[in-house]
Amino acid sequence: MKKSSRYSEAEAEPGNALFNLKNTIMYHVLISKTQLLNSKISTLLTEKVRDYTAFVICMLCMVLFLISAFEKVADYETFEKGLARVAFIGNYAEAIARAVPALEAGIAVLLMVPPTSRWGLYGFTGLMAVFTLYILSMLFWAEKLPCNCNLLLTHMSWGGHFLFNLGCMGLALFALKISKKH
pLDDT digits (tens, 9 = 90+) for 30-43: 787 777 776 776 56
Question: What pTM was estimated for this model as a whole?
Answer: 0.72
Residue type at position 122? Y
What pLDDT, on a 0 to 100 scale, did the predictor assign at position 95?
95
What average pLDDT does range 88-107 have in this prediction? 93
The residue ranges of every structural domain in the chain are 49-178
Distance (Å, whole) CA 29 – CA 15: 21
